[in-house]
Structure formats: structure tokens, C-alpha cells
Structure 1
Amino acid sequence: MKFSTLFSFALAALSVNALPKAAVQRRADAIDDTTVLNFALTLEHLENAFYAGALEKFDEGAFKKAGLPSWARGRFVQIAAHEAAHVKFLSDALGDKATKPCTYNFPYTDPKTFAALSMALEGVGVSAYAGAAQFITNKQYLTAAAVVLSTEARHASWVAGAVNKLESWSGALDVPLGLNQVFTLAASFITSCPSTNPALPVKAFPTLTLTTAGNKAGSSGTVAYNGSSSASGTAVAFYTGLSTIFAPIKDGKFTLPEGLMGTVYAVVSSNATSVSDESILAGPAILEINFNSDNTLVKK
């Protein structure tokens, strides 16, 4: 699929899933409220570092030179403040159990590529909170997660529509992602973490690369992971809203199914009818299938 140049950059950045050993040298098995909050804090530390670093690097002149609206940087400054507040909020709630920030590497090169990557990260953040909510038992924590999620969703919508000129939503429902799926995407930016950080019950799946000849149903595509084409007998599972749509893989090829619009996540599953952490062979990969205000797909 031929995405816009900027969003292609963002997707490529999220496909390099080489996981630093320091991030997973210890792995917890239990998932309790503290674990979920530390998982959320891990993502908030990442976003906080992402915005702080970019805003330190790019001043108003750089944003203007990149052709972004004059007010864009000011709004990103506000988002950066939100992410810093989320870090403090979760850190205060966890006290001495709070995980510390890692060392990160973000591959943006200018304000435009920063904005493209921001859209991808904010979308992953929304899906992370939506997917982790099921593990929270404390109602106060659940409310806290809900208000952070709604703010992240506002960020994602603004960056997509106002800055990147793409659709601000993918449909009536967002996609919830599992802890391992989110960590797989986040791990591409982590270079090392403090050895004293609390262990998390997460692992990263192998990198998934999807390419398609177009963005409409029936377009042919290829799938590869672990450096080679996948075997027959598996399927690409596409997450859209709360639905999972399967496309059988044969000789490393698949056909894009009906019903995909906006931001879609995809994994390769050994089961062609259901997906679990045990059946995921690679992914997630992110597809951005742009559509117009009349719900027609943007031609590629």
C-alpha cells in the first residue's frame, strides 16, 4: 500500500522491534492494578520524552519552515504538558513502586516527521488504555485511566485532522490492543531501561511487514516476518474497532478484505478464526487506509 510519505515514515519507525535486553531481563507473570498502572506509566514516559525532545529540537521557525500551521507548535507544547502531567499523576499514584523512564531513540528528522510519528504514537496510546482497562479492579484507577484515555484520544484526533490532514477517527469504535501487542510497538523506541524498574508481564512479537498493491478490498498483498515470507496455513488478522477480520495467507500472499478504513492493526496468527497471544506469530503492523468525508477511500 502506498501511504503518504510522512505516514509511511511513521509506520516504518514502528516496525523496528529490536527489543533491548535491559527492558525485559525480568518478567512478571501476575497482572494487578499496580502492574497495569506501571504499564501505562511506561508508555507515558515514552510519550513525555518524545514531545520534550522534539520541542527542544524544533523551534517555531522550524515548524514554519516545514510548512505547518503557525499555531501547531503551541498546541504540541500543550500536549507535551499533558504527557508530563500524566507521568506525574501515575508516578504519584504508584509512589515508590513507580517505574522510571528509559532511554529512547525517536527517528524524526523535522517537524513534519515528528507530527506523523505523533499521530501513530497517540493512536497506539488510545488502543493501549482501551485494551488494559479490563485488568483494572480498583474503580478509582479505572476512572483515572478513562480520563487519561479520553485526553489521548483528543490528542490523536487533533494531530490526525488539524496537522496531518487525515481522517480524525477510524469509525464508531477504537481498537483495543493487548499488553504484548502495545509493548511490541513501543519497544522499537526503547534502547535501554533501568535495571531497577519493576518487571512487566510483557514480551515483544517478531516484526511484521505488510505490503499491498492498493487500499481497496481485493488488493493483493504480501506478508513477511523473521526475515522471510510466512508459511501457508496461517492468516493475517486485521483489527478494526472491536472486530477482527481474517485474510488467509498462501505462499506469503493474502487478499485485503472488506471493511477496513482508517487506522487498522494487523498480526499474523497461526489460527485463521481467532487470535490470542499464543497464536500470534508476528506483529502488530499498522495500516492507514485513508478515507474521505463521504466514506470513500482515498485513491492510491
Structure 2
Amino acid sequence: MRTTLFSLAFISLCVASPLVSVDSRHNVDDTTILNFALTLEHLENAFYHGALAKYNAEAFKKAGFPRHTRARFAEIAAHEKTHVEFLTAALGESATKPCQYSFPHTDPKSFAALSQILEGVGTSAYTGAARFISNKDYLTAAASVLATEARHASWVSSAVNKVAGWSGAFDVPLGLNEVYTLAAPFITSCPPTNPPLPVKAFPPLIFTSKPVPGHATSVEKTPATSPATHVSFFTGLDKIFVPITNGQILVPEGLSGTVYAVATKSGEEATDDTIIAGPAVLLFERDSRGHLID
């Protein structure tokens, strides 16, 4: 079964937050949200342009990709650069500057796998942040970027990685802290003059084995001072809470596509006040008949 566990793959990269941050419940205005979006666009811009400078057309060919694949990724890179320029122009002197990054890809295949993760996170980030935007023009612009990011995600998943280009009828909206937790491992340092963002990174959620729908898996212990009681699986607009019993959970049946998991101290809410660790990104790929792909 093709199940990818993001937190295990990149746990070695989790470091202290390199961004200056403030309490996530305050100072969330349109400028802050646009700078949060620009932070993510800077990251994606660096990711694509760095990889394309590293892997030429011959490298993509040797990896087994069709001839057009690298050229399409170059188009995505151009889109991300345009997003950076657009948001920078909108913010003017308030615009956050790019950081320094480190991405754990070693060849075109691992680059494409990570692209699928990042595009999915970007789509969920814009979806979740929309509720904070009050200016309707900004909201329309953000929706336009969101649509393009979703097209990127779908193309990378289906045309490149040969899995479904969607996870179901709805995408997952992620909160600011949840998104930053997933982005922070790739950010090594930032300019000290960058404006502070209302974000914090949660500790990583670690499973001792790859979660499989319908099967049990173990969860690494959370701090004794604030132990987790449940794992919540974000799938579409739903949050499925599963109790942790003796360090184990039963992964829900029917999970499909990209699913985010967090450890919580509540069996009813997964919010900034109740999340203990995560999100972890889980990919449960299924064929057109709904069967998990081996």
C-alpha cells in the first residue's frame, strides 16, 4: 500500500521556529495574512527554482518521467515567482523577505513527491486562511491563487505521481499554526527585519509505524504535563477523533488521499488550545475502485 508518513520522513529537520512569532489569537489582520501567504510563496518559489537548477532535463528522463514533465514544473515555478511578486507589490514596504531553506530531495522523484506534499499544504493553507481576510479584493485575489495552487496539486498528484488528483469532495482547511508547523522544518533562517507572524510550531506527531486504515498503530508519548488523549484525523471538512489507548490508536476505515493528523487533549476539538502535536501528513492513495494502492 502506498502510504506516506510525512512526520517520520522529515522528523530530523524539525528545529526551533526561525520566524519571529506572536500569539496566534491576536494581530490577525489583512496585512498579516498576506505576509503569511507571502512566506509560503517564498518557500515554494525557492523550492521549485532550486530543484530545477539542480535537475536538468536528462535527470528527469533518467528518473522515468515524460519529456514534458520538467517543462511543466518550470511553469509552476514561474507561477510561484509571479505569486511572490504580486503579494510583494500589494504589501509594499510591509512585505516579508525570503528566508533561507533546506529541502530533503535528492533526485527528481523525491522532488516530485515533496512537491505533492507542499502543493497540498499550500492549498489547505489558503483555504483555512480565507476566513481571516476582510478586504473583498484581497479575498478574490487569494481565491485566484488558491485555484491555481489546487491545479498544481492535482497535476503533480495525477500526471506526475500517478495517483488521484483529489482526496474527495472537499479539501482540508488548515489553521495558521498547523500550516506553519508543516512549513517550519524547511526554513533554516530568516531576516531579522521580517515582520512577526502570529504563528507557532507544534511538536511533531510521531507514529511508530505507518498508519493503515482499519489497523492499529502506536503514537509516541506526548509530554506528561499535557498528555494527548486522542488523535484527530482531518479529512475534507471532517475531523475524526480516535482515543489513544495504551499508546495505540485504531486508524479509521475509509481514509483517502491526503489526511492530516494531530494529537489532542480533547476528543471533541482540535484547536490551537487543544492540539499537543502535529499535524502529520498521511497519504492514503486509492485506485478508481476505492482500493488502497500497494
- 1:67-121 CA-to-partner distances (Å, cap 9, x unmatched) read 1111100000000000000000000000000000000001100000000000000
The residue aligned with 1:23 is 19
Q: Which of 56, 63, 66 does residue 66 from structure 1 map onto?
A: 63
Q: Which moved more, 1:85-94 or 1:250-259?
A: 250-259
Unpaired runs of 5+ residues, structure 2, are none
CA RMSD in angstroms comes to 2.1
Q: Whole-Å Cα distance in 2 between the matches of residues 72 and 168 of structure 1?
A: 16
Higher relative contact order (CA 8 A, sep 6+): 2
| 1:262 pairs with 2:257 | yes
Secondary structure at 2:233's aligned position in 1? strand
Q: Whole-Å Cα distance in 1 between the matches of residues 222 and 266 of structure 2?
A: 18
| 1:248 pairs with 2:243 | yes
Secondary structure at 2:271's aligned position in 1? coil
Q: Whole-Å Cα distance in 1 between the matches of residues 202 and 29 of structure 2?
A: 22
Q: Which of 216, 219, 229 does residue 220 from structure 1 map onto?
A: 216
The residue aligned with 2:201 is 204
The residue aligned with 1:32 is 29
Q: Whole-Å Cα distance in 1 between the matches of residues 120 and 159 of structure 2?
A: 15
Q: Whole-Å Cα distance in 1 between the matches of residues 8 and 141 of structure 2?
A: 29
Q: Give the letter aligned to residue 84 of structure 1.
A: K
The residue aligned with 1:165 is 162
| 1:234 pairs with 2:245 | no
Q: Whole-Å Cα distance in 1 between the matches of residues 60 and 175 of structure 2?
A: 35
The residue aligned with 1:291 is 286
Q: Give the letter aligned to residue 150 of structure 2.
A: A
Secondary structure at 1:68's aligned position in 2? coil
The residue aligned with 1:141 is 138
Unpaired runs of 5+ residues, structure 1, are none
Q: Give the letter aligned to residue 24 of structure 1.
A: V
User: How many residues are treated as equivalent by the alignment?
Assistant: 292
Query: TM-score, normalised on structure 1?
Result: 0.92
Q: Which moved more, 1:250-259 or 1:22-31?
A: 22-31
- 1:17-72 CA-to-partner distances (Å, cap 9, x unmatched) read 3134x412666731000000000000000000000000001100111111111110
Deviation at 1:257, TM superposition (A): 1.3
Secondary structure at 1:88's aligned position in 2? helix
Residues 78 and 56 from structure 1, CA distance in 2 versus in 1: closer, same or farther, beyond 3 angstroms? Answer: same
Deviation at 1:210, TM superposition (A): 2.2
Q: Give the letter aligned to residue 149 of structure 1.
A: L
Q: Which of 87, 94, 98 does residue 97 from structure 1 map onto?
A: 94
- 1:261-293 CA-to-partner distances (Å, cap 9, x unmatched) read 110000000001111101000000011111110
Contact 1:119-1:160 at 8 Å conserved across structures: yes
Contact 2:5-2:282 at 8 Å conserved across structures: no
Q: Give the letter aligned to residue 32 of structure 2.
A: T
Deviation at 1:202, TM superposition (A): 0.3
Deviation at 1:3, TM superposition (A): 3.8
Secondary structure at 2:283's aligned position in 1? strand
Secondary structure at 1:209's aligned position in 2? coil
Q: Whole-Å Cα distance in 1 between the matches of residues 267 and 151 of structure 2?
A: 34
The residue aligned with 1:280 is 275
| 1:57 pairs with 2:63 | no
Contact 1:19-1:190 at 8 Å conserved across structures: no
Contact 1:10-1:120 at 8 Å conserved across structures: no
Report sequence identity in percent: 58
Q: Whole-Å Cα distance in 2 between the matches of residues 256 and 57 of structure 1?
A: 38
Deviation at 1:296, TM superposition (A): 2.3
Q: Whole-Å Cα distance in 1 between the matches of residues 72 and 7 of structure 2?
A: 20
Deviation at 1:298, TM superposition (A): 2.4
